[in-house]
Amino acid sequence: MDKKLNRIIESGTRLTFLLLLAFAGVTLWLGHYVLAGIEACAIVAIYIYYRQRQRRRRSEMRRYVETLAYQVDDASKSSLVNFPLPMVILRIDTREIIWGNDVFYEIAGLHEGLFETHITSALPGFDIRWVMEGKAMCPYDVAMGERKYNIYGNLVRSGTEEGRSLLATLFWIDITEYSILRESYEKSRPVVALIVVDSYEELYKGASERENSALTAAIDERLVAWAKSTGGIVRRTERDRYLFIFEQQGLVSLTAGKFAILESMHEVKSSEGITATLSIGIGKGEGTFAELYQNALIGIDMALSRGGDQVVIKTKNAFEFYGGRSKEVEKRTKVKSRVMANALRQLIRDSSHVFIMGHKISDLDCIGAAAGVAAIVRKSGKTPYLIFDRNNTSAIEMIDKLRAEVQYEGSFITEEEAIIRADSASLVVVVDTSRPDIVEAPKLLETVQRVAVIDHHRRAASYIENAAISHHETYASSASELVAELLQYIVTAQEVLDTEAEAMLAGIFLDTKGFTIKTGVRTFEAAAFLRQLGADTIEVRKMFSGDLNTYIRKYSLIATARQIMPGVSMAVTEEQVERIVAAQAADDLINVADIVASFVVYGEGAGTSLSARSYGKVNVQLICEKIGGGGSLTGAGAQFADKKPREVAVMLTKAIEDYLRDNPVKD
């Protein structure tokens, strides 16, 4: 009975007495005076018992601590009571202060009489899980008043009869001066940035000398004014490049301002209406200037491969992205395509085997680009080997058409067969993706050292590094468009099959939604070239014709759509939906008036997938990246193996809210 009463009183002492007093008060108010008197006597008796027990426990614990101290250091006859450092002993199960020395009570602003006070009374939010995990030191600095401390601790067991629970002994080490010095050091760490005017050629093309000077002066003026607040230096190193060196504390202010230079630079326009945009790569960390510069180079390459008009901060192990709201500027020159075509042809000729693959759950753009590369491989005198899962694709009809061609006999192989064939001189050509985690054959990618990448999506934080060739152009509508441009410098019309030309045209048609979004002059030039190669537009259009059941499923999915916030619609279903049906539903939802972005969340296999679309006012890639997906400005998606559609919808809604808060939609 005594132990049960102890447990009742230990659990929320103040609340217990308040409830008892309240109960007695209600009894008195109802006129039961005798009963109220009995209750009052009982409360007084319990309180007296509690106080006596508390004093006894405090005395026992003090004797225990004293005994422990003499056992630890009997020679010096010292005790923990006189220990010079702040010290406290806690109960692990209740987080209550069992004992503390005078120094601890002084820095915590508590009185020694506050026995069994919860540790959060002295340190709001303080967590002792690190002690329970066996760590000797708190992983973060702890502030008490104007001082900062490192906390060291260990676990001990109480030897008292009543308090045989696990205890934590904590010691406070004052590191205020060290913390100030460390903070000053971190703020003064150097940061290296590279700035590129990524629309330079288009901005200056056809401009007079006078206009050139005015544009350059306007760009320089804005850059210098923006950089001035950091106390750093910015210098032009090439006609379209700047080197910017400053301190870490300056980066904090630039980040807080969300790199306002990106928006400010949009005010600079040429006489033809071309807007100036910047890409900025920033290297920060603990490395040398050479390492920071290398990080800045990686950052600027990442920014350009994601479409430009953004900032990428590269640390040792991570990327941070800012901006990226503008549409990509189409490059007018095809010099890079010609250079890439020659380099790819030579790389193929020097390879023993050439394997071609795209992303998992391949689509028409993926298959079309692969078919175009296969034509280049044949032209180079090699046998193309294509790796695609026929049972897990949205382009099964196109794959079957290619397999039926004599030239493709034995070309479609599995990942295991490719690994057996591969040697040190083999080449893997990856199309329509640059992410190693979503390629069709990840083990083959790890096995083969020579890799070429052809992709049009904005680059994600994880990408295929050290590729021998990386033809990554985000201005392009599709991977098929990029491959079609390469074909113009390598093959003749007679060396490309009609089926291959149709596959590439279908890929362009898919990613442009029937030539309505993300189309430029070069998109139509590529389509015209494919038509010359023998692509039948009627056959291509038939590939996008669905049966009645497909239409019913698509519009049933659209019927679940709701406008979750102004300009944003979302359809969510727990049912299993084919990916192509979900993509078509997202395409149709974006056609609704006043809708700037659409999202479709649906069940796929044992997990969940989503498709996202926009016309450019909202960057759906950035939204999907927040929850582990990716894509491009106008089309993106994500897959979740272990989540339900409703769970993904909640995550997605939060990501959309965060994006729109930082990037409000402009009319």
Residue 148 belongs to a domain with what CATH number? 3.30.450.20
pLDDT value, residue 354: 96
Q: Of 510, 542, 574, which closes a domain? A: 542
We report the CATH number of the domain holding residue 281 as: 3.30.70.270
Residues 552 and 517 in one domain: no
| Contact of 430 with 445, CB cutoff 8 Å | yes
- Give the residue, 203 or 400, on which the prediction is more confident: 400
Lowest mean pLDDT among 423-432, 475-484, 573-582: 573-582
Helix (H, G, I), strand (E, B) or coil at 660: helix
Rounded CA gap, 316 and 98, in Å? 44
Tens digit of each residue's pLDDT (9 = 90 or more) over 363-393: 899 999 999 999 999 999 999 999 998 888 8
In a domain, 328, yes or no: no
Residues 203 and 154 in one domain: no
In a domain, 261, yes or no: yes
Residues 18 and 53 in one domain: yes
Lowest mean pLDDT among 185-189, 190-194, 333-337, 342-346: 333-337
pLDDT value, residue 430: 96
Residues 512 and 371 in one domain: yes
Highest mean pLDDT among 2-11, 166-175, 367-376, 602-611: 367-376
Residue 357 has pLDDT above 90, yes or no: yes
pLDDT value, residue 282: 95
- Give the residue, 498 or 147, on which the prediction is more confident: 498
Q: Of 522, 542, 562, which closes a domain? A: 542
Place 73 in a pLDDT band, splitting at 50, 70 and 90. very low
**Exposed/middle/buried for residue 498 (C-beta within 10 Å: 0-12, 13-18, 19+):** middle
Rounded CA gap, 406 and 478, in Å? 27
In a domain, 357, yes or no: yes
Place 13 in a pLDDT band, splitting at 50, 70 and 90. low
Residue 623 has pLDDT above 60, yes or no: yes
Residue 162 has pLDDT above 80, yes or no: no
Residues 441 and 514 in one domain: yes
% residues pLDDT > 90 (the chain): 38
We report the CATH number of the domain holding residue 658 as: 3.10.310.30
Distance (Å) of CA 393 to CA 332, 588, 611: 34, 22, 16
Q: Of 72, 102, 129, which closes a domain? A: 72
Q: What is the DSSP string of 321-384?
A: EEE--SPPPPP---HHHHHHHHHHHHHHHT-S-EEEE-BSSB-HHHHHHHHHHHHHHHHTT--E
Region 295-315: mean pLDDT is: 87
Residue 71 has pLDDT above 50, yes or no: no
Residues 354 and 483 in one domain: yes
Region 243-265: mean pLDDT is: 90
Residues 245 and 347 in one domain: no
Residues 519 and 429 in one domain: yes
Rounded CA gap, 196 and 310, in Å? 10
Tens digit of each residue's pLDDT (9 = 90 or more) over 81-138: 567 788 888 777 777 777 777 788 777 776 655 555 777 777 777 888 888 877 888 8
Residues 99 and 61 in one domain: no
In a domain, 248, yes or no: yes
In a domain, 602, yes or no: yes
Print the domain residue range for 244: 193-323
In a domain, 78, yes or no: no
- Give the residue, 208 or 610, on which the prediction is more confident: 610
We report the CATH number of the domain holding residue 489 as: 3.90.1640.10
Residues 98 and 153 in one domain: yes
pLDDT value, residue 488: 92
Place 408 in a pLDDT band, splitting at 50, 70 and 90. very high
When divided into structural domains, the chain yields a total of: 5
Place 61 in a pLDDT band, splitting at 50, 70 and 90. low
On average, the pLDDT of the chain sits at 84
Rounded CA gap, 76 and 86, in Å? 19
Q: Which amino acid is at 513?
A: K
Rounded CA gap, 596 and 604, in Å? 25
pLDDT value, residue 66: 52
Residue 2 has pLDDT above 60, yes or no: no
Residue 443 has pLDDT above 90, yes or no: yes
Lowest mean pLDDT among 262-276, 356-370, 540-554: 540-554
pLDDT value, residue 272: 80
Strands (E), 106-259: 142-144, 147-157, 166-174, 190-197, 233-238, 241-247
Residue 544 has pLDDT above 70, yes or no: yes
Residues 344 and 436 in one domain: yes
Region 160-164: mean pLDDT is: 48
Rounded CA gap, 531 and 648, in Å? 42
Residues 391 and 515 in one domain: yes
Place 55 in a pLDDT band, splitting at 50, 70 and 90. low
Region 23-33: mean pLDDT is: 75
Residue 448 has pLDDT above 90, yes or no: yes
In a domain, 187, yes or no: no
In a domain, 10, yes or no: yes
Tens digit of each residue's pLDDT (9 = 90 or more) over 461-491: 788 888 899 898 888 889 999 999 999 999 8
